[in-house]
Structure 1
Amino acid sequence: MKIKKVFNNNVVLTEDVNQVEMVVMGRGLSFQKKVGDSIDTERIEKTFVMPSESFANKLSELLDEIPYEIMSLSKDIIDLATKELQTELNESLYLSLADHIHFALTRLHEGLSIKNALMWEVQKFYKEEYRVARKALDLIEARTKVRLPEDETASIALHLFNARQDSAGMEETMEMTNIVNDVTTIVKYHYGIDFEEESMNYSRFITHLRYFAYRMLRGELNDDHQDALYEQVKSQYPKAYACTEKVQAYLNKQYKMEMTKEELTYFMIHIHRVSYREKSE
């Protein structure tokens, strides 16, 4: 493997035998080396494929500010998350997570504490990501001897969830979380119930809400004009219909958005199911 670009003494751009570009990391890997020199593969500690040239440029900028130890730590957290969540994560997470961890450690060192306003919602709605984020905090503490505040668990969990979405931005992810929280609150007070958050039914309801909010914010809602099914469900579940009308009013007021009959039908079915089982139990 030959060096195509030197980022710093520990990180270089190279390519494999199939001419696929990749970044390789290792302490002192490129010390006193230049473009065209060979790499000692035994010193490589981390490897990942380059998704784009812009990614390489952003990485280069980040490496000027962030220590190698934090970059390596971030890669290990991403590897852990990929295994625990059993999914591929967007490569951009490598940049955003390293930047976030470095900034969080810097803030803590300077005595600055920033609360995560979505702490409760993230813990409630993104349980798997939150669980992995707790492990990430443990790993950060083990490597840096610094325990980040508990609010950072929610922040890291949001980064993980964001990386699971098809190029969704962090701002969009946070907006999705607010929508899910507000809609569940509407349902909760409409029926006067507390949800059993560990139940499969509640999990299905939250999953539907998350993907509905995701599609809504991107303008991807479709209507198959299932008028007959809509009228049938509306007649069969009048209380779920009334609740869905409240959700529609909220979305219209906050986002100037009208749900399609298809979405209204799905909402009535999900709301009836989650409320009926909660009442029964």
Structure 2
Amino acid sequence: MKPTLPSATVLLCVFNGAKTLDRCLYSLQQQTTQDFCIVCIDDASTDESTDFLRQWQEKFGTERFFLYENKVNLGLTRSLNFGLSHIKTTFTARIDADDWWHPEKLEKQLAYLKINPPCGVVGTWYENHGHRGIRKIPLPETDTAIKASILRQNPFAHSAVVFQTELIRAHGGYNNQWKYGQDYELWLRLLSYTKFANIPEYLCYRSADDTLTAKKQREQMFSCVKTQLLYLKQYHRPLWEYCFILNPLLVALAPEWLRQLKRRFL
């Protein structure tokens, strides 16, 4: 007799996340529902991540914690798709190694998805935690509100989403051409095929200490512009909506001292 599959898989990709892995995985251990397994991709880490992950695999058990160790660094997007290919459950929840969850997060999202089958992706509001304190980030809640604002900015925190696994697979998974913002491109690709929602509670916590290099931040902002332009054109949006690219474009082009000033006061 085959064991019953859990409802969800938590998909975690790690590259040199040793400093925050314990906090992340402890938050999974403390979830009020344990109706999940974990698929973890160690993307050829060079710090102590691999050792920590093996220790956590022992805590959860090898029947719940599936650890795959890349021989070479594939990058986040390819690692996500590799992990997705190993998921057998109805739902997939994403988390990054430096983020963590409220204990009731997964239970509330799974309950929402089970009573709202047209919804393929559900997120939550989230908090950014950094050395300057905590910043609460509310997001549009309903499918209508999310789709009205999605070309302006990403309406989900990646570590906050739970989605229907087969929906994502049916539409090609994450786009390997996107090094950054692969989640944003995916949501825009799904726009016509499913409903979206955000639970209006702060159930996800993200590390917001600024560790990005100027080069990496520019690349992220240019990736955002690339995504917006692609789907503004594909969805035949009015010309005035092309102004949505201005914010990420200005961030990408601004000198470092101005970006630092913006992060300090905004």
Q: TM-score, normalized by length of structure 2?
A: 0.27
The structure that has the greater radius of gyration is 1
More strand as a share of residues: 2
If asked which structure has higher relative contact order (CA below 8 Å, sep 6+), I would say 2
Q: TM-score, normalized by length of structure 1?
A: 0.26
More helix as a share of residues: 1
